[in-house]
Amino acid sequence: MQPRLSLDKDKLKFLLLEGIHPSAVEALKQDGYHQVETHTHAPIGAELIKAIGNAHFVGLRSRTRLTEEVLSQAPKLTAIGCFCIGTNQVDLRAAARRGIPVFNAPFSNTRSVAELVLGEIIMLLRNIPEKNAILHREGWVKSASNSYEVRGKTLGIIGYGHIGTQIGVLAEQLGMAVIFYDIENKLALGNARPMHSLVDLLESADVISLHVPETSATQNMIAAPQIAQMRRGSCLINASRGTVVDIQALVDALESHHLQGAAVDVFPAEPKGNDEPFKSPLVRFDNVILTPHIGGSTAEAQANIGVEVVTKLIRYSNNGSTTSAVNFPEVSLPEHSGKCRLLHIHRNVPGVLARINERFSQAGINIAAQYLQTSVDVGYVVIDVDASASEIALDQLASIEGTIRCRILY
Ligand SMILES: NC(=O)C1=CN([C@@H]2O[C@H](COP(=O)(O)OP(=O)(O)OC[C@H]3O[C@@H](n4cnc5c(N)ncnc54)[C@H](O)[C@@H]3O)[C@@H](O)[C@H]2O)C=CC1
Ligand SMILES: O=C(O)CCC(=O)C(=O)O
């Protein structure tokens, strides 16, 4: 019999949701994983529970909510792949406590978002959305009013991470002055200038673009008081998360013409698939660019994300590596040819490693290699042993107090 490198691949089910790019399925098949179920939409409720109930790996984008309740009904779930940047749709801590690492694609769609925002800055400052809408209704208003060059204007970026910095660099190429606000101390690229407070940024920019993650601190971070601090006639762009902007406050500011326009790609409530209607009080404003959460939806980004995230899931499945997991101790492991690899995930309490080593020593199991990493809630130990000792070793591991789960790679 050939030595097996991983659990029987034919028994492992991958569930890929929300129209993940076919490059993901292709990469899985090339590695010998053929049990792949795909859906184009984001299932909810009973449909989600049914689909995830017998899945070993699940892939999703920004819409599917993996709450503690959903995770509790996914007993076989081994790892989660977010085929996007944001991971707010998954209860990361609940996943970690169940021994489930979560992976994402931290920068495969960064450039796509940055390019969209750059285009929107030009469109908004030229008042193109409104002009475009008038022509679609067979009107004709040839006028330079409310139409400005971007050169010399100030772009304010809130959240100066991967996307924010890319946009800053690109905007400077157009002659814009760039200022930014971030809760972390960040290296300013080009001539960008950090602002000491959000208020400083709000008061100083002609266009403000949001690039923060969804957290409790960013919930409604742009509401009526913040919009009031923005310059009259300025524009707001949100391609981060729908919860970051208070939509009613934005509506009020557009109605009062305090803002010249806005571009919104993300919404507090989004349709779960392309066959569901989109409802928002913003639809009646000609001066608002509305896009269906496609900041990262380019052919290039999606194809790259498909391969990137699946590669992380495959590596975890085949070899136990958790490099770049967002909720889990990170371990980058060498191959284990000639040995049998055991993965032990436990509650991060004192003494687990000592107990493992004691048990192995008493059972006469020789440890060929051992790796340990911990995070707040979870400890992750990887142990390579001779194949002949693997079943005994697995039994020993499984009975250790604090064990969340253990797995064997052949
Ligand atoms: N519309 C779309 O299709 C896409 C949306 N996104 C969203 O964009 C967000 C940002 O993406 P990246 O730039 O890659 O993330 P990142 O993690 O590289 O940057 C986020 C930045 O925001 C800062 N930040 C966090 N909380 C803050 C706060 N309260 N105030 C000010 N700054 C704060 C962080 O320190 C960090 O520098 C993602 O979390 C995701 O939600 C990402 C990709 C596509
Ligand atoms: O492409 C998607 O489905 C979501 C993109 C996004 O919001 C992200 O990458 O965080």
- What is the DSSP annotation of 164-198? HHHHHHHHHHTT-EEEEE-SS--PPPTT-EE-SSH
Question: Quick check: CB of 62 below 6 Å from ligand 2?
Answer: yes
How many angstroms is it from 360 CA to the middle of ligand 1?
A: 45
| Size of the chain in residues | 410
Whether 61 is in the pocket of ligand 2, judged by its Cβ within 6 Å, is yes
- Whether 62 shows a pLDDT value over 70: the answer reads yes
Over residues 83-94, the mean pLDDT reads: 98
CB 152 within 8 A of CB 177: yes
Ligand 1 neighbour 85 (Cβ under 6 A): yes
From ligand 2's centre to the CA of 299, what distance in Å?
Answer: 13
Structure-block tokens of residue 36: 């792949």
Q: How many Å apart are CA 310 and CA 81, to the nearest integer?
A: 7
pLDDT band at 3, cuts 50/70/90?
very low
The closest ligand to the CA of 84 turns out to be 2
User: What is the distance between the alpha carbons of residues 275 and 265, in angstroms, rounded to a whole number?
Assistant: 18
**8 A C-beta contact, residue 329 and residue 379:** yes
Lowest mean pLDDT among 8-12, 83-87, 129-133, 141-145: 8-12
Three-state DSSP class for residue 149: coil
Best mutation site among 83, 211, 226 for ligand 1, i.e. most ligand atoms within 8 A of its Cβ? Answer: 211
Contact 332/323 with Cβ under 8 angstroms? yes
The arrangement of strands across the sheet holding 177-181 comes to 193-194, 177-181, 154-158, 207-210, 234-238, 259-264, 288-290
pLDDT of 1 above 70? no
pLDDT of 410 higher than 90: no
- What confidence tier does 6 reach under pLDDT thresholds 50, 70, 90? low
Ligand 2 neighbour 302 (Cβ under 6 A) = no
Angle (CA) 20-22-27 rounded to 5° is 110
